[in-house]
């Protein structure tokens, strides 16, 4: 369960709600459909904020690929793929199976949550089967894209299976990253490897900043290492980070 966390000391207004004016009725309808089909844990408000951020980056022509790390059943990836430019690459990183174990830097509630999962006691989205228990999850995610009319190759979308520690190596500029990998080690890996490639004006969204202690710890440690290069806002729950200089 998410907990109340004070605003980050470097927080500045980056409110996701302020950008939702760039969304069309079709965008909002798509977010609602993704929720109704139980393809994401994200609320419609969080989905709208993601879509609005991607639309804003397209409008500003911020160069680089889009990345999602941790996609579950693909709901947020489907939304991102739908609002980005067709030729802008979207790399979707996931183990496409059982979530990896947390590490020594993760907090007690994280380890308790993981134990619940491995014990087979985790509930899925809106009471469905937990996605980590689904066989051949990568094929399921691909089919979910196709249900929304998205052919991966035609929309420049790549599914990248494996641990981000093994697979995430950006080769060029990055405009946007949605990091939803829960635990300390993968979050730290994502930040350390993505931020150096993030274009000025590009954004990173960390969904679990206010939810899991390992994500919060990894993010705060990383941000302390890059003073003056970013502005951030965690007032709406997820942490939004914008790069302001190299």
pLDDT of amino acid 83:
95
pTM for this entry: 0.91
pLDDT of amino acid 19:
53
| Alpha-carbon torsion, ordered 174, 178, 183, 186, to 10 deg | -20
pLDDT of amino acid 165:
98
- 114 neighbors 102 (Cβ within 8 angstroms): yes
Instruction: Say how far apart CA 103 and CA 93 lie, in whole Å.
Output: 20
In terms of DSSP bridges, do strands 90-94 and 157-161 run parallel, antiparallel, or are they unpaired? parallel
Q: Is 19 exposed, middle or buried (0-12, 13-18, 19+ CB in 10 A)?
A: buried
Instruction: Say how far apart CA 42 and CA 76 lie, in whole Å.
Output: 8
pLDDT of amino acid 44:
86
Instruction: Say how far apart CA 200 and CA 70 lie, in whole Å.
Output: 24
| Regions of the chain with pLDDT less than 50 | 1-6, 9, 11-13, 15, 18
pLDDT of amino acid 232:
93
pLDDT of amino acid 21:
56
């Amino acid at each position: 369960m998410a907990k109340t966390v004070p605003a980050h000391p470097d927080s500045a207004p980056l409110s996701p709600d302020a950008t939702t004016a760039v969304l069309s009725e079709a965008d909002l309808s798509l977010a609602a459909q993704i929720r109704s089909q139980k393809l994401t844990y994200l609320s419609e408000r969080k989905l709208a904020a993601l879509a609005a951020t991607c639309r804003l980056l397209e409008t500003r022509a911020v160069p680089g690929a889009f990345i999602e790390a941790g996609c579950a059943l693909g709901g947020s990836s489907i939304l991102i793929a739908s609002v980005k430019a067709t030729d802008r690459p979207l790399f979707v990183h996931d183990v496409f199976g059982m979530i990896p174990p947390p590490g020594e830097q993760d907090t007690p509630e994280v380890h308790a949550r993981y134990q619940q999962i491995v014990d087979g006691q985790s509930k899925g989205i809106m009471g469905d089967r937990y996605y980590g228990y689904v066989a051949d999850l990568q094929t399921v995610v691909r089919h979910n894209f196709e249900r929304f009319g998205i052919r991966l190759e035609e929309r420049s979308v790549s599914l990248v299976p494996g641990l981000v520690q093994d697979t995430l190596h950006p080769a060029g500029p990055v405009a946007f990253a949605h990091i939803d990998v829960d635990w300390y080690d993968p979050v730290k890996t994502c930040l350390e490897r993505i931020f150096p490639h993030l274009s000025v004006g590009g954004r990173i969204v960390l969904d679990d900043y206010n939810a899991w202690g390992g994500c919060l710890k990894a993010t705060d440690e990383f941000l302390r290492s890059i003073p003056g290069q970013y502005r951030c806002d965690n007032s709406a729950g997820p942490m939004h980070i914008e790069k302001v200089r190299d």
